[in-house]
């Protein structure tokens, strides 16, 4: 099969997966909130910030390096050309670095979503390969969510909901079979945890899946994001349970891991439900801890830019303007994160938030270089 996708398509797909985490059901879009605007006199560059005219609302962080784009496209071309061993070697090269392995897993999913003939061939050629079996199950889960859509259940056509309900139990069974092929591999367990809420698993059925995941990968970022979604109020938990889950995740996160960022996603869930954000000294201490944790993460971690946007936003909401300003300096000109895009004019919202951070922190212009 010939594929004429531009070289950037696969990289863009995977970047969206990692930055937006948009697989959960969402309510219909609310009215766009009004955009605050920075004073015309605000000179961002004087405070070590990217100038207003340099802001780029097309992305949340720097573009993917050419080397990575070329490697991703070469992997896609090899798979679509029938070379499933290239995919197998790509994921195996991550070893037992389970977050990196999942990152590669997501890339293979994006490639298979376009054309999965190579995945079928991989499964037939190596039926004992856990990653191939887990990928097949994972693809079933994501196709089910595509059919369902992102609205509330009452907004989903009955026919689509029936297909969704039928696909998820089959996906969980496929993931369970995959788990038997490599007991140490957490990928099938991430798939099961992801599917559990859509499959209407109550907590007593969900908990063994979660225990199985953390027994294999106690700090798995994607697994924790999915777990946080399960415990949020719109699924099978509450605001209190979700926040407790997020706080445990950040408290147990090892140095160098962006896992503390799960706390920021939990704050976003609160805002989407129009629930009050944590306040007071304890809440500020939490945000400081997230700041410190992200400072230890690898600079090239592609989850970091989106997390920095959330951190800057919530630091500002908490009145921690000096810390917010430092995050804005680290972010640079990239302002296409959802936290600003929801205002309709991301560059204006981002620029205004920076101006507020400068004003409220009483920052002084930096000396000329």
- Tokens 């069974």 belong to 173
For residue 283, the SS3 value is: helix
Assigned token pair, 308:
């920095």
Q: Is the pTM of this model over 0.85?
A: yes
91 Cα distance to chain centroid: 20
pLDDT computed for residue 2 by the predictor: 37
Q: How far apart are CA 353 and CA 37, in angstroms?
A: 8
- Tens of pLDDT, residue by residue over 278-317, are 999 999 999 999 999 999 999 999 999 999 999 999 999 9
- Tokens 């109020």 belong to 233
Residue among 6, 106, 59, 48 nearest 347 (CA): 59
For residue 334, the SS3 value is: strand
- Is the distance from CB of 200 to CB of 167 less than 8 angstroms? no
- Tens of pLDDT, residue by residue over 79-124, are 999 999 999 999 999 999 999 999 999 999 999 999 999 999 999 9
Cβ within 8 Å of residue 193, ≥6 positions away? 206, 209, 210, 213, 223, 226, 227, 230
Identify the DSSP state of 141: H
- Tens of pLDDT, residue by residue over 160-174, are 888 888 899 999 999
């Amino acid at each position: 099969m010939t594929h004429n996708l531009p070289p950037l398509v696969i990289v863009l797909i995977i970047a969206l997966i990692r930055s937006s985490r948009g697989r959960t059901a969402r309510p219909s879009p609310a009215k766009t909130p009004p955009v605050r605007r920075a004073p015309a006199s605000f000179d961002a560059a004087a405070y070590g910030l990217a100038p207003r005219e340099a802001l780029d609302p097309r992305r949340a962080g720097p573009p993917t390096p050419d080397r990575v784009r070329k490697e991703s496209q070469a992997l896609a071309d090899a798979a679509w050309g029938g070379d499933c061993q290239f995919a197998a070697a790509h994921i195996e090269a991550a070893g037992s670095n389970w977050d990196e392995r999942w990152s590669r897993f997501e890339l293979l999913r994006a490639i298979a979503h376009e054309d999965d003939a190579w995945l079928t061939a991989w499964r037939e050629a190596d039926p004992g390969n856990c990653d191939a079996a887990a990928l097949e199950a994972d693809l079933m889960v994501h196709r089910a969510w595509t059919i369902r859509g992102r609205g509330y259940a009452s907004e989903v056509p009955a026919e689509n909901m029936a297909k969704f309900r039928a696909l998820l139990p089959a996906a969980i069974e496929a993931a369970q079979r995959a788990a038997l092929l490599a007991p140490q591999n957490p990928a099938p367990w991430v798939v099961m945890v992801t599917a559990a809420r859509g499959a209407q698993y109550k907590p007593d059925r969900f908990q063994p899946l979660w225990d199985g995941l953390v027994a294999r990968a106690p700090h798995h970022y994607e697994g924790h994001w999915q777990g946080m979604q399960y415990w949020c109020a719109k699924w099978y938990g509450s605001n209190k349970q979700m926040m407790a889950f997020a706080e445990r995740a950040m408290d147990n996160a090892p140095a160098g891991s962006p896992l503390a960022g799960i706390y920021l996603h939990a704050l976003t869930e609160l805002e989407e439900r129009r629930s009050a954000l944590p306040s007071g000294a304890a809440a500020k201490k939490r945000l400081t801890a997230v700041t410190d944790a992200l400072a230890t993460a690898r600079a090239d971690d592609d989850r970091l830019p989106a997390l920095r946007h959330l951190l800057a936003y919530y630091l500002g909401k908490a009145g921690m303007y000096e810390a917010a300003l430092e995050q804005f300096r680290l972010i640079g000109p990239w302002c296409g994160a959802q936290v600003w895009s929801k205002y309709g004019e991301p560059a204006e919202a981002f620029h205004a938030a920076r101006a507020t951070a400068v004003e409220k922190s009483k920052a002084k212009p930096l000396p000329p270089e």
